[in-house]
Amino acid sequence: MAGTLDQLQEKIASAKNALQKSASNVAELEKQFLAKHGTVNTLMAELKTLAPELRKEAGQLLNAFRQEVEHVVAGAKTSPARAGWTDFTMPGIKPNTDHVHPVSQAMDEITRIFERIGFIRVRYPEVDWEWYPFDSLNMPKDHPARDEWETFVIDDPFRHFKLGKMVLTPHTSNGQVREMERLKSTPPIRMINIARCYRRQADVTHTEMFHQFEGLVVDKGITIQHLKGTIDHFAREFYGPKAKSRIRPFHFMFTEPSFEVDFSCTICDGTGRVNGEKCRFCKSGWHEVGGAGMVHPNVLKAGNIDPEKYTGFAFGWGIERTYTLRKGLKLDDIRLLYSGDMRFLEQF
Ligand code: DAH
Does the Cβ of 316 fall within 6 Å of ligand 1?
yes
pLDDT of residue 145: 84
Supply the CATH classification number for the domain 102-345.
3.30.930.10
Mean pLDDT confidence for 119-130: 95
Distance 124 CA to ligand 1 centre (A): 15
Q: Check residue 51 and give its pLDDT.
A: 87
Read off the pLDDT of each residue in 9-21 and give the average, rounded to a whole number: 86
Question: 100: CA distance to ligand 1 center in Å?
Answer: 27
How much is the pLDDT for 185?
96
Residue 80's pLDDT is 62
Q: In what order do the strands lie in the sheet with 311-318?
A: 120-122, 189-198, 209-219, 311-318, 286-295, 255-264, 245-252
Most confident stretch, 39-53, 224-238, 327-341: 224-238
Report the C-alpha gap between 140 and 253 in whole angstroms: 10
0.75 exceeded by pTM: no
- Ligand 1 contact via 313 beta carbon (within 6 Å): no
For residue range 158-171, list pLDDT tens digits in order. 677 789 999 999 99
Give me the amino acid identity at 285: G
Q: What is the mean pLDDT of residues 243-254?
A: 96
- For residue 259, the CA-to-ligand 1 centroid distance in Å is 9
Cα-only R_g, the chain: 33
pLDDT at 2 over 80: no
Inform me whether the pLDDT recorded for 58 exceeds 80.
yes
| Residue 16 binned pLDDT confidence (cut-offs 50, 70, 90) | confident
Instruction: Identify the pLDDT of residue 246.
Output: 96
pLDDT digits (tens, 9 = 90+) for 266-294: 889 899 999 999 998 888 999 999 999 99
Q: Which amino acid, one-letter code, is at 196?
A: R
Q: Are 268 and 282 spatial neighbours (Cβ–Cβ below 8 Å)?
A: yes
295 touches 248 (CB < 8 A): no
Give residue 134's identity as a one-letter amino acid code: F
5-21 and 52-78 helices cross at what angle (nearest 10)? 10
Q: Calculate the dihedral angle through the C-alpha atoms of 188, 312, 171, 256, rounding to the nearest 10 degrees.
A: 170
Could you tell which of 139, 171, 247 is best to mutate to test the pocket of ligand 1, judged by most ligand atoms within 8 Å of the CB? 171
Give 338 Cα–ligand 1 centroid separation in angstroms. Answer: 24
DSSP string, 178-233: HHHHHTTT-S-EEEEEEEEEE-S--BTTB-SEEEEEEEEEEETT--HHHHHHHHHH
pLDDT digits (tens, 9 = 90+) for 224-238: 999 999 999 999 999
Closest ligand 1 atom number to CA of residue 212: 4
Q: Where in the chain is the domain with CATH 3.30.930.10?
A: 102-345
Higher pLDDT, 20 or 297: 297
